[in-house]
Structure 1
Amino acid sequence: MNIKKSIKIALAALFVAVTPTFAQLPDNDNDQTDEIDNYDFLYSEDGNVDNYDVASMENLMDEAFSLIGTRYRSGASGPGGFDCSGFTSYLYKQMGIDLNRSSRGQYTQGEAVASSNLQTGDLVFFTSPRSGKGIGHVGIVVDYDPMNGNFSFIHASIKGVKVSQSTEPYYSRRYVGARRITQ
Structure 2
Amino acid sequence: MGKLKLLNWLSVIGLALFLLMIPAFMMMLNPSDSEENAFQTQDDDEIGTIMVSSEVERYRPLFEKYAKKYGVEKLVNILMALTMQESGGRVPDVMQSSESLGLPPNTITDPEQSIDAGVRHFKAVYTSAKGDVDLALQAYNFGGGFITWVQNGKGGKYTLSLAQEFSSMMAGKMGWGRYGDPEYVPHVRRYLKPASKFTGDFQKVMDEALKYQGNPYSWGGSTPQTGFDCSGLTQWTYKQVGISLPRTAQEQFYASKKVSVSEARAGDLVFFTGTYVGKYITHVGIYLGNGRMYNSNDSGIKYDNLSGYWKQHLVGYGRVADFKS
Same fold (TM over 0.5): yes
Structure 1 equivalent of residue 300 of structure 2: 160
Q: List alignment gaps of at least 5 residues for structure 1.
A: 16-52, 145-150
Q: Evaluate the alpha carbon distance shift between residue 65 and residue 133 of structure 1 in structure 2; reply closer, same or farther with a 3 A threshold.
A: same
Structure 2 equivalent of residue 143 of structure 1: 289
Distance in 1 separating the partners of 2:201 and 2:191: 21
Superposition map of 1:68-79 within 5 A? 68-79=213-224
CA contact (8 A) 1:4 1:66 kept: no
* Superposition misfits of 4+ residues, deviation over 2 angstroms: 1-5, 130-133
Structure 1 equivalent of residue 192 of structure 2: 6
Q: Evaluate the alpha carbon distance shift between residue 120 and residue 4 of structure 1 in structure 2; reply closer, same or farther with a 3 A threshold.
A: farther
Larger radius of gyration: 2
Does structure 1 residue 179 correspond to structure 2 residue 325? no
- Give the aligned residue type for 2:287: V
Question: What's the CA shift for 1:163?
Answer: 0.4
Distance in 1 separating the partners of 2:240 and 2:221: 16
Structure 1 equivalent of residue 27 of structure 2: none
Higher share of residues assigned strand: 1
Structure 1 equivalent of residue 250 of structure 2: 104
Q: Evaluate the alpha carbon distance shift between residue 172 and residue 73 of structure 1 in structure 2; reply closer, same or farther with a 3 A threshold.
A: same
Question: What's the CA shift for 1:132?
Answer: 8.4
- Give the aligned residue type for 2:220: G
Deviations 1:103-158 (A, max 9, x none): 000001131110112111110000032338711000001232xxxxxx10000011
Q: Which segment is superposed worse, 54-63 or 126-135? A: 126-135
Question: What's the CA shift for 1:55?
Answer: 0.8
CA contact (8 A) 1:61 1:142 kept: no
Superposition map of 1:12-51 within 5 A? none
Deviations 1:139-181 (A, max 9, x none): 001232xxxxxx10000011210000001x1101000011010
Count of aligned pairs: 135
Deviations 1:60-91 (A, max 9, x none): 11222222112211101021410000000001
SS in 2 for 1:135: coil
Q: Evaluate the alpha carbon distance shift between residue 153 and residue 116 of structure 1 in structure 2; reply closer, same or farther with a 3 A threshold.
A: same
Q: Evaluate the alpha carbon distance shift between residue 132 and residue 172 of structure 1 in structure 2; reply closer, same or farther with a 3 A threshold.
A: farther
Relative contact order, CA 8 A, sep 6+: which one is greater? 1
SS in 2 for 1:156: strand
- Give the aligned residue type for 1:174: H
Q: Evaluate the alpha carbon distance shift between residue 95 and residue 137 of structure 1 in structure 2; reply closer, same or farther with a 3 A threshold.
A: same
Structure 1 equivalent of residue 201 of structure 2: 56
- TM-score, with length taken from structure 2: 0.39
Higher share of residues assigned helix: 2
CA contact (8 A) 2:268 2:321 kept: no
- Give the aligned residue type for 1:137: H
Structure 2 equivalent of residue 26 of structure 1: none
Q: Which segment is superposed worse, 124-133 or 79-88? A: 124-133
User: Structure 2 residue aligned with 1:123, among 269, 278, 281?
Assistant: 269
- TM-score, with length taken from structure 1: 0.67
Distance in 1 separating the partners of 2:210 and 2:219: 20
Identity percentage over the alignment? Answer: 34
SS in 2 for 1:107: helix
Distance in 2 separating the partners of 1:135 and 1:79: 24
RMSD of the TM alignment (CA)? 2.3
Question: What's the CA shift for 1:99?
Answer: 0.5
- Give the aligned residue type for 1:72: Y
